[in-house]
Amino acid sequence: MPVGWRRKLRVWLDPGHGHQLRQLAEDTGAELAWATTWLHRANTEIGPRLGLPELKVVEFHDETGWKYPAVARYAWERPLVWFDDDFGLHPARRDAFVHKRRHLTTALVHVDPGTGISVQHLSEAREAFGRNP
């Protein structure tokens, strides 16, 4: 996929993930949203390849604190399961984010970009959502 004027990025996608994520949302009452550096391009470049409908996009332009402040605002007082491959970038900010949400279901699920979302990740999400009152 082209990511700039001269550069292309190889992205490995599993078309089965779209169905699995839609099923997770349906079964748990979760809302799917993008929190990615792709921003709105995720809806045009990635979502269609996975069979996902257009999703809300968490905007985090010019944020300090990586994606955490924007995701905190977006999720607010709702349970959150967040799949990402970059939770290790800012450990202090990650820990503060989780601590502030300690009264809520908050599962940060690390996904290896080389293997993608697995059955184990989806099970972890279901378990986390199952802890909701």
Residue 62 pLDDT exceeds 80:
no
Q: Is the pLDDT higher at 40 or at 61?
A: 40
Burial class (CB in 10 A: 0-12, 13-18, 19+), 10: exposed
Residue 1: the pLDDT is 60
Which sequence spans correspond to the domains of the chain? 16-130
Q: What is the rounded CA–CA span in Å between residue 111 and residue 125? A: 12
On whether the CB atoms of residues 81 and 109 are closer than 8 A, the answer is: yes
Residue 2: the pLDDT is 60
Residue 6 pLDDT exceeds 90:
no
Residue 10 pLDDT exceeds 80:
no
